[in-house]
Amino acid sequence: RDMLEHLPNSACVLFENNSQIRIVGKHTWVASSKKNRTLLGKVWINLWRIAFIQVIKLRYRPAVTISHLEGPNFANLLTIGGKKKIVFVHNALSYSYSQDSIVSTAKILLAKLLYRHAAQIVGVSPLVCTELKENYSVRSERVIYLPNPIDVRKIRSASLVEYKDRLERLVALDYIICVGSLSVQKNHRLAILVFSILLKQKKIGQNLKLFIVGDGPLRVELIDFARSLGLIVVDWTASGRGGRIDYSANVFFLGFQPSPHRLVKYAKTSWMTSRWEGLPISLLESFAVETPIVVSDCSSSLRLVMKEQEAAGQGGFSSG
């Protein structure tokens, strides 16, 4: 969305648009938001997306085509036209696709076959760049290390705008926040476990809450896990706009929020317990609104920033 806003004469193809992204004066298409759990269904949807993008390229003949993440990257590189093709890689592939499965194996194979043909590959962490050069035969001159950019002024401005619904009541509570998809990578299970231990500390008390912002395949599993630890859980999405909310609960699963910046700003601390990361935007947004951060040792980019801050005699990070 930010890239679309800042690039003149640009348009965008989204694989999904569940957050209803619309940019005034910009054209956006949705290639397919349908979900399918079967392997055949996933293959069919992705073939449709490739065909969709090919039609867009042939019709509009862009001078540059930029893509993010493996699915869009593969579609960008498999389709003809679009002249200069630039792909962004946000995570080390050896971590993202370490599972012994057909899908992971296929994605690794496609990356090895296709990424070397990109005009430019942008890695958001030093680890990503090193892996692309050493394991995927991408020439060094084609790889650029570029940390994720964020619009600090815009984020700070958004954090000052009050919510016009029940979210605003949450801002007044004492809470820790986690922002990220409910997936294996983000490891929210660890955050819930650590939070349950914190609640037993006398100095902390029972008034502290854990807000989990995001959606994903592990949503039901994580809710069940929290309840198995004796925590009272609110499923914000299931409650709907008119449903009753128990504000005395311990853990709030808030689902996807298009503008979580105000919630992040007023959190006691922002947690990221990921197993691996490139340079997560949600953490950069926490920096922007000056929320204290606790982060697992999951990113070479974050490690680099920490070393630079330590060398400069600055604080601001807690890692483990």
pLDDT band at residue 318 using 50, 70 and 90 as cut-offs = very low
pLDDT score of 225 more than 60 = yes
Rounded to 5 degrees, what angle do the CA atoms 59, 64, 67 make?
95
Task: Report pLDDT for 31.
Answer: 83
| Average per-residue pLDDT for the chain | 87
pLDDT score of 319 more than 50 = no
CA distance 102 to 190: 27
For 59-86, what is the mean pLDDT? 93
User: Helices 188-198 & 219-228, crossing angle to 10 degrees?
Assistant: 20
At 151-206, the pLDDT tens digits run 889 999 999 999 998 999 999 999 999 999 999 989 999 999 999 999 988 777 77
CA distance 126 to 69: 17
User: Which of 139-143, 150-154, 238-242, 259-263 shows the lowest per-residue confidence on average (mean pLDDT)?
Assistant: 238-242
At 263-294, the pLDDT tens digits run 999 999 999 999 888 778 888 899 899 999 99
Highest mean pLDDT out of 15-24, 36-45, 238-247, 288-297: 288-297
Whether 148 and 172 have beta carbons less than 8 Å apart is answered as no
* Amino acid letter for position 13: V
User: Helices 281-288 & 152-159, crossing angle to 10 degrees?
Assistant: 70
Beta bridge partners of 66: 86
Q: Which helix (H) or strand (E) element contains residue 134?
A: helix 126-135
For 292-305, what is the mean pLDDT? 78
